[in-house]
Amino acid sequence: MASISLQNVTKVFDRRTTAVSHLTLEVRAGEFLVLVGPSGCGKTTILRLIAGLETPTSGAICLGGRSVAGVSPQDRDVAMVFQDGALYPHLSVYANLAFPLQVRGLARTEMRRRVDEVVEMLGLADLKDRKPAALSGGQRQRVALGRALVRAPAVFLLDEPLSSLDPALRRTLREEIKALHRQLRTTMLYVTHDQAEALALGDRLCVLRDGQMQQVGRPMDVYDRPANRFVAGFFGTPPMNFLPGRLHVENGAGSVVFAGATIPLPAALVGAGTDEEVLVGIRPHDLSVMPSGQQKDNVLAGRVDLLEPFGGWTDVHVRLPSGAKCIVSASPQGSCRVGEEVRMRVPQDKLHLFRLDGTALNTGNSPTPETGV
């Protein structure tokens, strides 16, 4: 296994399209790091730069502490797994697995040992004589993973390998990939636009937007303490509610006024804030609905516009007096009805405050030292 270091890396295509901008990122040896962000944010370009399939416009890339400037892809000791598997259609599963070892001139006995080991590891024994056309999507991706594994590279690069599979199969293979990493402890850099996949897989996440790093950290740190509004809104289903408000601070104590309510704030949420306009973020599952007759502190009032049942929970769409919308993820056993006046309890310690430029305001949500902003 080897560490990966990107130092102020920029990639510009056609002298005008910046795919990656001044990216500095350290991936520890043996770590599983996930690059996550919307389509077109530069995730795949980063993998291609590390693999040597693209050349950086500026900056440096090191593998295992050594610069790979001018080093050809085949000499970088990395293996890349693509979204479509990229198998040779005319070769059997066994021959697909053996091919990269044949190219390297490995001895026949060692080649057979490695292929047999991977076949056993991935449960491909009953499929080794089949051609790719006779395999399911999940089986083809297993073979693609196996073709990377058989090389025993220092670094694995996985480019959305599960995106074309159905949800149940994605979950199964996701578990297998995580188990493989625990077993092998090889450095893995995994690209996805799926937030749930990123949270489930990564030792750490690197969140990207428009080629720029937004935040790096452990999955739940990124989820619980987003560095900015983009990161906060990217994670969570349904996404975080954002409502305009105003922060008031006096003698170290603070409160936020939004949606017709005044909510006192814990000191950690006030941070270094002053009296200013803010965006208040609340995750739908942190809100709870109560009948309008139950008058309590720290509540927002509104009318139910829509109910979306999802089995284990129901998303309650509430229209606030200002006209803004707010979503609450509630128990399916709740008695809300469309058109009903309801109140929503707001837990003070679950609020997220953002300046109007989108950066996190409060200490509790401030970025870690690893963040990119």
285 and 180, same structural domain? no
Residue 72 belongs to domain with CATH number: 3.40.50.300
Report the 10 Å Cβ neighbour count for 289.
21
Domain assignment present for 140: yes
193 and 277, same structural domain? no
Evaluate if residue 364 carries a pLDDT over 80: no
216 and 242, same structural domain? no
Domain assignment present for 149: yes
Domain assignment present for 158: yes
Nearest-5° angle of CA 225, CA 235, CA 256? 50
Nearest-5° angle of CA 36, CA 38, CA 43? 50
181 and 90, same structural domain? yes
Domain assignment present for 304: yes
266 and 198, same structural domain? no
268 and 301, same structural domain? yes
For 266-313, write each residue's pLDDT tens digit: 877 776 667 899 999 999 999 998 766 655 667 899 999 999 999 889
Q: How far apart are CA 241 and CA 300, in angstroms?
A: 13
The per-residue pLDDT of the chain, averaged, comes to: 89
41 and 21, same structural domain? yes
- Whether residue 282 contacts residue 243, with contact meaning beta carbons closer than 8 Å, is answered with yes
| 3 state DSSP class of 301 | strand
- Could you tell me what percent of the chain has a pLDDT over 90? 62
What's the gap between Cα 324 and its chain centre? Answer: 28
Residue 308 belongs to domain with CATH number: 2.40.50.140
- Whether residue 60 contacts residue 136, with contact meaning beta carbons closer than 8 Å, is answered with no
Q: Which two tokens stand for residue 5?
A: 């270091």
268 and 125, same structural domain? no
Report the 10 Å Cβ neighbour count for 71.
14
Domain assignment present for 268: yes
| 3 state DSSP class of 5 | strand
Domain assignment present for 371: no
271 and 207, same structural domain? no
183 and 263, same structural domain? no
Domain assignment present for 373: no
| Helix, strand, coil tally for the chain in percent (to 5) | 30, 35, 40
The dihedral of CA 108, 109, 114, 115: what is its sign? Answer: positive
pLDDT of residue 273: 67
| 3 state DSSP class of 159 | strand
pLDDT of residue 292: 60
249 and 175, same structural domain? no
- Whether residue 207 contacts residue 213, with contact meaning beta carbons closer than 8 Å, is answered with yes
The identity of residue 172, as a single letter, is: T
pLDDT of residue 363: 43
Specify the pTM.
Answer: 0.89
pLDDT of residue 369: 41
| 3 state DSSP class of 247 | strand
Total domains, the chain:
2
pLDDT of residue 295: 56
Last residue in a domain, options 176, 202, 230: 230
CB neighbours of 362 closer than 8 A, spacing ≥ 6?
265, 268, 269, 270, 271, 273, 352, 353
Evaluate if residue 84 carries a pLDDT over 80: no
Last residue in a domain, options 230, 249, 276: 230
Distances (CA, A) of 80 to 72, 77, 286: 14, 10, 39
pLDDT of residue 92: 94
Structural domain harbouring 205: 4-230
The identity of residue 208, as a single letter, is: L
Domain assignment present for 89: yes
- Could you tell me what percent of the chain has a pLDDT over 70? 93
pLDDT band at 203 (very low <50, low <70, confident <90, very high): very high
353 and 310, same structural domain? yes
For 232-260, write each residue's pLDDT tens digit: 999 999 999 999 999 998 877 789 999 98
Last residue in a domain, options 188, 213, 230: 230
For the ranges 103-112, 172-181, 294-303, which has the lowest average pLDDT? Answer: 294-303
- Whether residue 155 contacts residue 62, with contact meaning beta carbons closer than 8 Å, is answered with no
- Whether residue 207 contacts residue 191, with contact meaning beta carbons closer than 8 Å, is answered with no
Residue among 11, 106, 26 nearest 64 (CA): 26
DSSP class of residue 323? Answer: S
Residue among 61, 32, 36 nearest 156 (CA): 32
